[in-house]
Amino acid sequence: MKPVKLIMPFLFLSLICCCQYMTKELPSFDPVTVNENTVHLQDANEDDNHKIILVNTSTDKILCTYAFKGYNIYDSIFDYHFAQKIFIVLMSGRYLELDIPTGKVTEISLDFTVDTSFIFEDQLWIFPVQRDKKGQPTRVLKYNKDMESHWDTFKEGISYGDNTKFGNNAYLAYFSRMYDYYGIYNYTSDTLIDISNLSLYGTVPFLCNSYLFFRYDDPALQINMLMNDIFKINSFEPLSYEKFYTTPSDWNVFVTNVYEKNEDVFLYCSESIIVLDKNTKQLKQKVDLPEYRYISFSHCRNGSIWCCAEKSDGVYKFNMSDYSLKVIH
C-alpha cells in the first residue's frame, strides 16, 4: 500500500523554526497488540492535536488512538510486515519512532530535513530535502528491519513511495521537486521507464496497483478545478496502457488511491469514493463522504476501504460489495 501518501511539497520545512519542539517531552502510550489486519489512519482535524488511529479491520474495532497534543504530524508510516512501529514525520522536521508493543516514542536523530519517507521492498526509505536534476542521482537513507541504516543513491528525483508489482519486478513512481520530469523506476532491474507521453498536464505520477494517475487543473477554466487522468497499465516493459477514466472538473476531487474488487474499480478521493465498472469504464456510483479530510490516508483491507472520519471522532468503513458507508467509533 501504499501505505501512505501526501501532495504538499515539503521544501518549506527547512524554513520552519522548530525551537518550540526541541524541549518538548515526547509522549508515551499504552502497549497495543497488532496483527496483519491492523491499519493506521491519521487525524489532522485539530491543529496541534494530531492523532494516529490503529484499526483492526477484521473485527471492526479501533484498537487505540494516539493523541499527539502539541505536535503537528506531516506524515506517518506503518507496515506490520516491516515492523511493529509507526514512523512519524513532524512538521518541525523531527523523525519519530513509536514502538507499538511498548508504547514508547523515541526520536531518530537525523542531520537533514526529511522530504518524503515510506516503506518499500522491506526497507524504510527517507529522502532528504535536496536539489535534483534530470539524469543525476539523488541520496536516500535506507533502514532494514533491524533498523540498520545505510546511504544509497536513487537514479534521479524523489518518490512518495507509490509502487506496484508486475511479475517478478517491483516498480516505484518518482518525480522532480522542480516538477520538470517524472517516470517509473524498475527497482528489480535498476532501470528507468519514460512515461512522459501519458499526461500533458500532470507533473507527479501516482501509482497504485496496476493504475497510474495524474491530477491537474482543468486547462479550459480560469479557476482551479481539479481533474484526474486514470490509466490502466497492462505492461511496463514494453510500456502498454489504456486511458481508463477522467474525473470531471466540476467534481473538483483529487484521487489518492485506486482499488479493485471483482468487476469494480474504486477511486478513493478525500471527498468521495467513485465506483467504476472495470469492463465498460462507466460510472456506477459516487459516494460522497460527509466531510473533507486534509490527510488523505486510506487502506483497502478485508473487503472494505478504510479512512479517517475526523469530525466524527472515528473511522469510515466503506463496504466494497454493497457500497455502504458506516462510522466506527
Backbone dihedral region of 81: left (phi > 0), alpha (psi from -120 to 50 degrees) or beta?
A: alpha
Which tens digit of pLDDT belongs to each residue from 125-146?
A: 999 999 999 999 999 999 999 9
pLDDT at residue 293 in the model: 62
Contact between 117 and 125 (Cβ < 8 Å) = yes
Which tens digit of pLDDT belongs to each residue from 62-82?
A: 999 999 999 999 999 999 999
Residue carrying the nine cell digits 532491474: 189
Q: Which domain holds residue 140?
A: 1-158
- Number of domains comprising the chain: 1
Residue 44 within a domain: yes
Residue type present at position 166 = F
CA distance 157 to 184: 11
pLDDT at residue 9 in the model: 44
pLDDT at residue 219 in the model: 86
Strand pairing of 325-328 and 314-319?
A: antiparallel
pLDDT at residue 1 in the model: 40
Residue 293 within a domain: no
pLDDT at residue 14 in the model: 43
Contact between 266 and 243 (Cβ < 8 Å) = no
Rounded to whole angstroms, the maximal C-alpha distance in the chain is 57
Residue 193 within a domain: no
Residue 292 within a domain: no
Please, what is the Cα angle at 288 between 282 and 293, to 5 degrees? 125
pLDDT at residue 20 in the model: 42
Per-position DSSP letters for 295-319, written without gaps between them:
S---EEETTEEEEEETTTTEEEEEE
Contact between 174 and 158 (Cβ < 8 Å) = yes
Strand pairing of 123-128 and 114-120?
A: antiparallel
Mean pLDDT by groups of 10 residues along the chain of 329 residues: 43 43 78 98 82 96 95 95 97 94 97 96 97 96 98 97 94 93 96 90 89 91 87 95 95 93 95 96 94 76 93 90 95
Residue 187 within a domain: no
Residue 262 within a domain: no
301 forms beta bridges with: 304
CA distance 137 to 174: 12
